[in-house]
Structure 1
């Protein structure tokens, strides 16, 4: 059973790493891919992993799971409008954060430091590892794990950075630290990239990436406002405004003039939906939700119009085109990211928390590395025993820790290290 949009996908795109005989024909292969990710344990764990504000601090704030669901909704509609198979995009969006460890980007940075000698840690490479190895769904002929055994198109759509660390491209003269596959996952990575232009993301991956950017740029600001970290009226204070412009430039727009960033902020402030003050009332919460919705629509519509102005309104899939985002829209998205960065991620009271999180992960790696398979979950313990050397065993330890939620990482640390501490 093939959907109309799927007709632009070839049998090559529908292949799986391990050949399967479908048990029924009521769903397309891409619908099956989406269902496999949706029912995965890795997706469920995202419900207790930090997005920006820790999950246990407020009932309202987004977790990695709710963020992924919102990215999937944005990406599915955006992809369908451009002619991609919506289930391929949906699958990539649901999967895009599966590899993120406890404590958000702070945890990712620490695990990368701790695993530097074995190729580092990267959330996107860990996602590929989960999809093709760590999640249990399909076995290879020799009894190994093929993970969820997704189709080539869905795996490729999940590859935000389609290169290994040694082959990472230069950006502004420096090699980017982002990459999509570890060395020991090269066989499946090379399989999924077969026939793809080197270093180029398919359009479905580009849609996923844009949906991710749009989602967290807008939703993180909404969360920050509701949590009481910021009111948009504060931007009338020049010192506060300069902080936002500075962080936006430093983190997201190096090389872009401050005046150009300020102009993007002025454009957002000039919209009819900009909520300068939210007092917690139903009226202000409704206005805030409308601002979120309208800004998402603003950014998506801008990208659709720009893309279709070049490629027309026909179907775009795989490598038939690229998502085009106008420069002004990119600046506006970056400004929204800069707002959350300024008032949530870089505040002084967060710094001791970040350091304690790093200490917890460092101590967990040390303890698990020193105790063999004694404290590893059953599947990871089997991986540890099958490992050929210390480097491979360290990778298993990293896999185990990366799978933990914020809460389970704290609980395991308390049990193994024996020191009770609370993150406030």
Structure 2
């Protein structure tokens, strides 16, 4: 059994022995972490959380956050084993802080624990409400919520300190190892070329990074989990294990969502073929269009793909190559359009085999193309895809966004989900602030209010500048601090619900249901 003095990467958040407790089955510290994540109720709930569209009530066989996380973990472990088996990389990996397959698997299983009901749509809604309704400077971010769960709000760890995970696994979860605005200093958003996710949104200057992996309440956990890597990597860089997880997430996202929407008949052969084929046959003319004309013609085939090529040049000049981009478009047209989409999915054995074959070929192709870069640019991690496969992932993700995410029928559905979450947060706020109902709050919500109250009282006393919200004013007085704590607790509570629980809870709070005993009310 390893102990923390022999392996600092295996030190636990509690500062105790790095080995397993009596409740753990595995002996190795990182396998223990993997088991703790898999055994968490926050992990189980991901089976009821939307990946892109909800399968609830529709009978659609589509990925949810749980199946997505399992496939990310599968790809991440395969990548870690491949690069770890190469003798020529042993020195580099050791210099950068190590790459253990158990660490990347545990971090991959945990990376989406914080995703709220209704997927990325829910994330956007909760961020808006957290910042503008509750004045929380951090707002809401799914990655930061995942880190908060494993360090703070999950109580299944033996010391009731989140899951009491090791240094290496906590660090591997930090895909964006900074807070929204305050850490580290200088903040990566202020670099000449900010890391991916660190820049502020162009339409909202002063709001902080678009993506981040920790709230200010968990900053001590960031510091303790990253201390081992000081001097090995930059303060804003992912660990190698975080970079493996991030790359695997990209691979899973690029492949499995396309598989889903072919299966349900949403991804249509004709429209995808027209977009890719038109760009391939008319690339030079499209490249000559001025920006305003390209935008005006965005609904015509080929134009959206040309816009993607230009965005890649603007954001990822370190990697983009026009010849590689054209080859990638041709590859995706051959494999996806002329291959998978050419025959509509009908549920037959042949159709299932075609989907499975497409998924397996592409996963293997991308996993095998991963390489390690000792000194990457600020826009990438130490683990990257080869040039050809990087471009292929960009094109695959483009097809998903252009022909699934931007569909008007999906937008209609999501607007309804946004209204539902907004109404739920408002109803819970009214309940929490009703002094006559203080004794009848859901116990978990009550406990979250107390937890956040202690956290924000400490911050107000020790570092009040991190609490400055959208108004630009520092909260003053205990009432203002308690209001922040209530807001964070409500956001924590809503983010821990499944899609079904969020819907059923609002039904109950609005008096639209007479049903009393359901899973939504086991609170």
Q: TM-score range by the shorter chain?
A: 0.7 to 0.9
Number of residue pairs matched by the alignment: 398
| Mapping 1:187-336, distance limit 5 Å | 187-196=220-229, 197-232=234-269, 234-237=271-274, 238=278, 241-242=301-302, 245=305, 248=308, 255=315, 261-271=325-335, 274-279=339-344, 280=346, 281-303=348-370, 306-307=371-372, 322-336=382-396
Q: Unpaired runs of 5+ in structure 1?
A: 312-320
| Aligned residue in 2 for 1:64 | 65
Q: Which residue number in structure 2 is paired with residue 314 of structure 1?
A: none
Quick check: which has more Rg, 1 or 2? 2
- 1:418 to partner: Cα distance: 3.4
Q: Which residue of the partner structure matches residue 79 of structure 1?
A: 80
- 8 A contact 1:102–1:409 mirrored in 2: yes
**CA separation of 1:264 and 1:109: change in aligned 2, threshold 3 A:** same
1:120 aligns to 2:139 (yes or no)? yes
1:416 maps onto 2:483 in alignment = no
2:281 corresponds to: none
User: Following TM superposition, by how much is the alpha carbon of 1:55 offset from its aligned partner in structure 2, in angstroms?
Assistant: 2.2
Aligned counterparts, 1:167-182, within 5 A: 167=183, 169-170=188-189, 174-175=199-200, 176-182=209-215
* Distance in structure 2 (CA, Å) of the matches to 1:328 and 1:339: 17
Cα contact 2:11–2:167 (8 A) shared by 1: yes
Question: Which 10-residue stretch deviates more, 195-204 or 230-239?
Answer: 230-239
- Comparing 36-45 with 171-180, which one deviates more in the overlay? 171-180
Unaligned runs of 5+ in 2: 85-98, 201-208, 279-298, 375-380, 433-437, 458-481, 514-523
Cα displacement (A) at 1:58: 3.2
Write out per-residue CA displacement over residues 280-338 of structure 1, whole angstroms, 9 at most, x where no aligned residue.
232122112111111111111111xx43xx67xxxxxxxxx921322332221121111
User: How many angstroms does 1:120 deviate by?
Assistant: 0.7
Structure 1 residues 201-249: Cα deviation after superposition (integer angstroms, max 9, x where no partner): 1111111001110011100000010010113454332477526526755
Q: CA deviation at 1:59?
A: 4.1
- Tell me the CA shift for residue 269 of structure 1: 2.8
- With over 3 angstroms needed to count, the CA separation of the structure-2 counterparts of 1:215 and 1:348, relative to structure 1, is same
Relative to structure 1, is the Cα distance of residues 407 and 227 closer, same or farther in structure 2, using a 3 angstrom cutoff? same
**CA distance in 1 between partners of 2:409 and 2:147 (Å):** 34
Distance in 1 between the 2:269 and 2:412 partners? 26
Give the corresponding residue for 1:317. Answer: none
Report the 3-state secondary structure (helix = DSSP H, G, I; strand = E; otherwise coil) of the residue aligned with 1:27: coil
Which TM-score applies when normalising by structure 1? 0.86
Question: In structure 2, what is the Cα distance between the partners aligned to 1:329 and 1:385?
Answer: 48
Report if the CA contact (8 A) 1:219-1:292 is conserved. yes
Alpha-carbon separation, structure 2, partners of 1:209 and 1:58:
30
Q: Which stretch shows the higher mean deviation, 19-28 or 62-71?
A: 19-28
Using the alignment, how far apart are the partners of 1:291 and 1:246 within structure 2? 26
Q: What's the RMSD between the two structures over aligned residues? A: 2.8
Contact 2:122/2:421, CA 8 A, preserved across alignment: yes
Change (3 A) 1:114 1:150: same
Give the secondary structure class of the aligned counterpart of 1:413: helix
Matches of 1:90 and 1:278 in 2, distance apart? 35
Deviation at 1:276, TM superposition (A): 3.3
Aligned residues of 1:72 and 1:94 also touching (Cα < 8 A): yes
| 2:435 aligned residue | none
Q: Provide the rounded CA distance (Å) in 1 between the counterparts of 2:403 and 2:215.
A: 34
Query: For the residues of structure 2 that align with 1:288 and 1:186, how far apart are their CA atoms?
Result: 43
User: How has the CA–CA distance of structure 1 residues 351 and 149 changed in structure 2, closer, same or farther, with 3 Å as cutoff?
Assistant: same
Find out whether 1:11 has 2:7 as its counterpart. Answer: yes
Secondary structure in structure 2 of the residue aligned to 1:162: coil
Task: Report the 3-state secondary structure (helix = DSSP H, G, I; strand = E; otherwise coil) of the residue aligned with 1:278.
Answer: coil
**Mapping 1:387-398, distance limit 5 Å:** 387=453, 388=457, 389-398=482-491
CA distance 1:353–1:271, change in 2 (3 Å): closer
Take 2:76 and 2:400, find their aligned partners in 1: how far apart are those partners? Answer: 22
Distance apart, 1:268 and its partner CA:
2.5
Change (3 A) 1:287 1:10: farther
After TM superposition, the score normalised by the length of structure 2 is 0.70
For 1:32, the equivalent position in structure 2 comes to 32
**Range 226-235 or range 238-247, more displaced:** 238-247
2:176: which partner in 1?
Answer: 161
Give the C-alpha shift of residue 351 in structure 1: 1.7
CA distance in 2, matches of 1:42, 1:247: 39
Offset at residue 396 of structure 1 (A): 0.3
Matched, 1:101 2:116: yes
Distance 1:253 1:293, change over 3 A: farther
Of 233-242 and 173-182, the range deviating more from structure 2: 233-242
Equivalent residue for 1:368, pick from 394, 405, 428 = 428
